[in-house]
């Protein structure tokens, strides 16, 4: 027996299986004949691939197309209920967990607060408890879980499932896959927060069918997901997209960054910077509106309060947001000049105030970018707003299944966890 030919044939079949599932995922409903026309594969191959995907319950038949010319055809679409996907976002002062279906629709969401000054062990312990609670509640519905994924504000080793460095948490070398596989038995993924969000936008957000776009995740830090030429660009070591740690503003305005450098772009545009700019204005001229919002909500100044104040016409809030939009636009102009993207998508906590940021971002990009390139770029707020990287975590599992449909087994007892991997 020629093992090489067998291996090649198996590989080819898996690639075809993935192509057919991708097409159904992004363009359903489709008939078998349409799939054959779109892929160039013959009808019997398509029938066999479709049978395989039906057997894994990744797709189902959804009715008959009888309004065209020719024979009526059975249409296929993705089975959203094939199982649940758990996504976890590790923030600086919170951890969120979400369960989505196979189409990224949110079925369940939980969030806990964490203390940025607490030990890594304590925060990991709280995260583990949150994940176990989420699994228990979802498992009670008798549905299977397809995988668990973490969205991390920093650099990650995808293959080993290790967090390498998260500057704003000050965590180094945390073996997420090992820790969470041992406690849950699930297949565990880890991804940078902005990359995860970019994957979500491409699968079911604002960048569907786009080949070149950049996702900017803005919260405590600022990260980039570079989706170039139809693929997420990872760079040599997998760390590409750390746009927030680009030193773009000259002395004497440089501020210290958690990465250890001075004057990083993110220090001028992150959520602390917005709050600080409002605070400085309030020190000079107190705002009755902001004080009253803080009193009523029993809260310190937050992005949400600043947004509400700006909506009501508060000058300090409006001016601070415009200033941050300008600094954000400065950096985006550089990205637009370098990469000529079709779209820039902004997501993460600061997009709560997105309507107030966007006009000054656009103005600044137009001013500092090269006109002929800027004309080809649209700037939008993420479909998932502040939850972009949380939904992104779930998207990472879905993307893995679309690439490797055989990761979903054919015969699964309801409630059973799927496909654990060796670590
Ligand atoms: Zn930095």
**Residue 346 Cα, ligand 1 centroid: separation in angstroms?**
19
**Residue 159 Cα, ligand 1 centroid: separation in angstroms?**
25
Residues in the chain: 423
Question: How many angstroms separate the Cα of 30 from the Cα of each of 188, 224, 288?
Answer: 32, 34, 58
Residue with tokens 């196979």: 102
**Residue 363 Cα, ligand 1 centroid: separation in angstroms?**
25
**Residue 270 Cα, ligand 1 centroid: separation in angstroms?**
11
**Residue 257 Cα, ligand 1 centroid: separation in angstroms?**
5
**Mean pLDDT, rounded, for 198-205:** 96
**Residue 417 Cα, ligand 1 centroid: separation in angstroms?**
39
**Residue 377 Cα, ligand 1 centroid: separation in angstroms?**
26
**Residue 149 Cα, ligand 1 centroid: separation in angstroms?**
25
**Residue 254 Cα, ligand 1 centroid: separation in angstroms?**
11
More confident residue, 133 or 250: 133
At residue 420 the predicted structure's pLDDT band, cuts being 50, 70 and 90, is very low
How much of the chain is in helix, strand and coil states, percent to nearest 5?
Answer: 50, 20, 30
At residue 260 the predicted structure's pLDDT band, cuts being 50, 70 and 90, is confident
Instruction: Tell me the residue ranges of DSSP E strands in 241-311.
Output: none
Query: Per-residue pLDDT tens for 19-65?
Result: 999 999 999 999 999 999 999 999 999 999 999 999 999 999 998 77
**Residue 262 Cα, ligand 1 centroid: separation in angstroms?**
7
User: Are the C-beta atoms of residues 362 and 329 closer than 8 Å to each other?
Assistant: yes
pTM: 0.90
pLDDT of residue 1: 52
**Residue 384 Cα, ligand 1 centroid: separation in angstroms?**
26
**Residue 261 Cα, ligand 1 centroid: separation in angstroms?**
5
**Residue 209 Cα, ligand 1 centroid: separation in angstroms?**
32
Measure CA of the first residue to CA of the last residue in the chain; give whole Å: 32
CA 318 – CA 414 distance, rounded (Å): 52
**Residue 340 Cα, ligand 1 centroid: separation in angstroms?**
24
Query: Per-residue pLDDT tens for 102-152?
Result: 999 999 999 999 998 899 999 999 999 999 999 998 877 777 999 999 999
**Residue 140 Cα, ligand 1 centroid: separation in angstroms?**
43
**Mean pLDDT, rounded, for 299-311:** 96
**Residue 323 Cα, ligand 1 centroid: separation in angstroms?**
20
């Amino acid at each position: 027996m020629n093992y090489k030919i067998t291996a090649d044939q198996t590989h080819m079949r898996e690639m075809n299986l993935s192509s057919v599932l991708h097409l159904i995922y992004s363009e359903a409903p489709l008939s078998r004949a349409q799939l054959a026309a779109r892929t160039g594969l013959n009808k019997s191959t398509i029938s066999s691939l479709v049978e395989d995907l039906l057997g894994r319950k990744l797709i189902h038949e959804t009715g008959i197309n009888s309004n065209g010319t020719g024979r009526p055809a059975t249409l296929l679409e993705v089975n959203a209920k094939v199982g649940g996907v758990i996504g976890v976002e590790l923030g600086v002062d919170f951890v969120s967990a979400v369960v989505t279906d196979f189409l990224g629709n949110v079925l369940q969401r939980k969030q806990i607060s964490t203390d940025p000054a607490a030990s890594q062990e304590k925060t990991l312990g709280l995260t583990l408890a949150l994940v176990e609670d989420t699994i228990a509640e979802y498992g009670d519905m008798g549905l299977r879980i397809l995988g668990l994924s973490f969205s991390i504000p920093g650099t990650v080793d995808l293959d080993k499932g290790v967090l390498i460095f998260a500057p704003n948490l000050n965590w180094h070398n945390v073996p997420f896959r090992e820790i969470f596989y041992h406690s849950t038995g699930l297949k565990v993924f880890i991804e940078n927060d902005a990359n995860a969000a970019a994957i979500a936008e491409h699968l079911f957000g604002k960048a569907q069918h786009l080949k070149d776009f950049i996702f900017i995740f803005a919260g405590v830090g600022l990260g980039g997901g570079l989706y170039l030429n139809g693929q997420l660009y990872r760079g040599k070591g997998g760390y590409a997209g750390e746009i927030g740690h680009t030193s773009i503003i000259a002395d004497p305005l440089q501020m210290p960054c958690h990465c250890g450098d001075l004057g990083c772009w993110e220090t001028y545009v992150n959520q602390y910077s917005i709050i600080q700019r409002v605070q400085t204005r309030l020190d000079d001229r107190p705002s009755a509106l902001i004080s009253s919002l803080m009193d009523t909500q029993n809260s310190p100044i937050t992005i949400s309060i600043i947004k509400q104040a700006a909506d009501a016409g508060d000058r300090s809030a409006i001016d601070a947001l415009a200033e941050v939009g300008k600094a954000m636009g400065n950096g985006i102009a550089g990205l637009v000049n370098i990469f000529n993207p079709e779209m820039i998508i902004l997501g993460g906590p600061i997009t709560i105030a997105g309507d107030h940021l966007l006009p000054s971002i656009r103005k600044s990009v137009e001013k500092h970018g090269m006109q002929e390139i800027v004309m080809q770029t649209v700037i939008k707020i993420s479909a998932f707003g502040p939850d972009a990287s949380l939904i992104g975590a779930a998207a990472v599992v879905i993307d893995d299944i679309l690439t490797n449909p055989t990761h979903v087994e054919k015969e699964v007892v309801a409630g059973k966890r799927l496909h654990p991997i060796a670590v």
